[in-house]
A and B are shown apart, each in its own frame.
Chain A
């Protein structure tokens, strides 16, 4: 008689356990913004050795991974890693999974007070296009993506708008200083045919290095016979 009570308890526990910690009933869709819409469980999305998290959406992460709006040029940060995984066209994710936004309002991250913006409808569609380029093109932005460098590392504290440009000091914070860069690009045969030290003087990096479209060597507009290649351009 004493043996059956423990058995029943055990059976109840076994049946009840899968339902604990989750509000879903069998057959119900995960709540809006949940990672489980695509991922089997949270363990599948966390890196190895990451301690388990409570929650199944971005709010589960931002307690520790606070959005960094300092505009520091920094590679491989949390934002970069997360965006990189989700903005490829085949990922089929919507910004609204983790972000809160309405046209003309600031864009923020669920579960945090951080916000960037305001962002108009036009700028939003431009941002989306830039993300796709960053994730999947052959341009300089995709090359930076492979280095896990995301938007604010180049654009600073605020999201860019149409017509914005990035100043040289941002690029040089990783690729400079200018003299070192020029020394590296001096051709061995004719050192004065140096794209980074020419008779045009100090020019913007973006004259040649177009980040969200194909780059083009400006020198070749006149010096058509020079042999000059730009890594991310049409050779």
Chain B
């Protein structure tokens, strides 16, 4: 990325770089002159007969100030900010319901602080935005772009408080330490599911005048040439194809591509089709391709995350499946079918997923006890429901857990005995799990177990953006009036996203993009 793009500019609308690459671009791509002269649209997808002839719309069916594509965390946050600044904002959602992956996930949010100062209140140690940034960069193997991580860690607390104060968001009185994090900073909503954040965001956005249109699928992004701004989108609506003009700008918040098996394999052959996915059916990534077709750069598309603890048969990430993630900071343990531990439970998701895959023994299990439940952000109601539904297995003793899971009782008892000893000693010689003083030994029943297995969950790569949420083209130039936020962008999480970093990233970047696009000239 060029330094020019990252320089501070004066108050007012964003400016593109001063250095003109006009000649370079025209020679390099060769479409500039043609597109301008004959009314054809920019279309870097030669070859396919249907795509080859894309004429710019002669007239627009409708004109709005800001079009947001996608109604998840990033899209709602962007729309809330742009509508709040007085821009007429429309959210286009292709599915028949709103919220995409955002409404169905575990509802966990990493933030160094919150307006209740829960971490401090619960005596859970220190934290800071700097520490959050360091964990995030390290967790992504330093593929993450530091100035982008800054946006997330500096915006996370503000965004959380915003959702609480203006949207009525309610969080549980618990803060957990999740895999790859070195501090207790993960918050949870009372609902225990992403809806607890999307409803507040939707309330804020709609109160400020943004409107969600369901069953509206974007099928192309209009741009005249390699110099000019994006103009609008082509949309498949229930009433047929329409062309919508975006006078101030377009914000792409269309999510990832975990459900698109072709794209997964194209970027990372090891993510084989046999893997289930935790995602909703709409996570198919076509908007990324439309952005690339008009010059957007994309990066790190090979980095595709497996959620290590999905339900083994369907890949669903239901409420019980959040427990293996949330509980590791309080003593929850993973074992395989032989009753043995196989990984440092506080490790990153990719490490936990790969450790299971290497075993080749499906499924593995999380073991925890009742003492841990509330501390780890859970509720007894959830645990009882999950047990009734057969997701959790309940037992009074470790022996009984082994019997119910059909794993060797002697081996499991020995594993638990050693594990409890490690907690007392403050050291885990087997897997080096960091031991903290809030971790609870597996001594008192009742005990619970849950089966788990990796499923495709999050695509870390995507469109290249700058810290203002503007999309960058393949030459490092800002594409005027094009913004992106959330899972469809790349370079924030690097090679591996830390759990509970998604919601703060989407919300912080959504707010930045929405705020900035509203300042564009219509």
Question: Which residues of chain A have a CB within 8 Å of any CB of chain B?
Answer: 161-165, 189-190, 192, 199-201, 203-204, 206-207, 218, 221-225
Residue of A nearest to B313 (CB): A225
Q: What 1/0 flags go to B68-108 for Cβ under 8 Å of A?
A: 00000000000000000000000000001111000110000
CB of B238 within 8 A of CB of A207, answer no
Q: In the assembled complex, how far is the CB of residue A169 from the closest CB belonging to chain B, in whole angstroms?
A: 16
List the A side residues contacting B193 at CB < 8 Å.
Answer: 199
Residue of A nearest to B194 (CB): A199
List the B side residues contacting A206 at CB < 8 Å.
Answer: 96
With A162-B240, A164-B238 already in contact, 13 other A-B pairs whose C-beta atoms are closer than 8 Å: A162-B239, A163-B240, A189-B388, A190-B385, A192-B385, A199-B104, A199-B191, A200-B104, A200-B195, A201-B103, A203-B96, A204-B97, A222-B281
Residue in B239, B314, B388 whose CB lies within 8 Å of A225: B314
CB of B239 within 8 A of CB of A203, answer no
List the B side residues contacting A163 at CB < 8 Å.
Answer: 237-240
Q: In the assembled complex, how far is the CB of residue A106 from the closest CB belonging to chain B, in whole angstroms?
A: 21
CB of B314 within 8 A of CB of A200, answer no
Q: Complex formed: what's the CA distance from A204 to B93 in Å?
A: 14
Q: Complex formed: what's the CA distance from A165 to B199 in Å?
A: 24
List the A side residues contacting B97 at CB < 8 Å.
Answer: 200-201, 203-204, 207, 218
A199-B280 in contact given A163-B239, A192-B385 (Cβ < 8 Å): no
Q: Complex formed: what's the CA distance from A162 to B239 in Å?
A: 7
CB of A222 within 8 A of CB of B104, answer yes
Chain A residues touching B, majority SS: loop
Residue in B99, B237, B318 whose CB lies within 8 Å of A200: B99
CB of B316 within 8 A of CB of A199, answer no
List the B side residues contacting A223 at CB < 8 Å.
Answer: 314, 316, 318
A165-B238 in contact given A201-B199, A221-B281 (Cβ < 8 Å): yes
20 contacts between A and B (CB under 8 A): A161-B239, A162-B239, A162-B240, A163-B238, A164-B238, A190-B385, A190-B388, A199-B103, A199-B104, A199-B193, A201-B97, A201-B98, A204-B96, A218-B97, A221-B280, A222-B281, A223-B314, A223-B318, A224-B314, A225-B314
Q: In the assembled complex, how far is the CB of residue B372 from the closest CB belonging to chain A, in whole angstroms?
A: 23
CB of A204 within 8 A of CB of B104, answer no
Cβ-based interface call for B263 (8 A) = no
Q: In the assembled complex, how far is the CB of residue B314 from the closest CB belonging to chain A, in whole angstroms?
A: 5
Q: Complex formed: what's the CA distance from A189 to B240 in Å?
A: 43
Q: In the assembled complex, how far is the CB of residue B453 from the closest CB belonging to chain A, in whole angstroms?
A: 15
List the B side residues contacting A207 at CB < 8 Å.
Answer: 96-97
A200-B385 in contact given A163-B238, A207-B97 (Cβ < 8 Å): no
Cβ-based interface call for B214 (8 A) = yes
Q: In the assembled complex, how far is the CB of residue A195 from the closest CB belonging to chain B, in whole angstroms?
A: 12
Q: Complex formed: what's the CA distance from A223 to B103 in Å?
A: 15
Q: Complex formed: what's the CA distance from A107 to B385 in Å?
A: 56
Cβ-based interface call for B389 (8 A) = yes
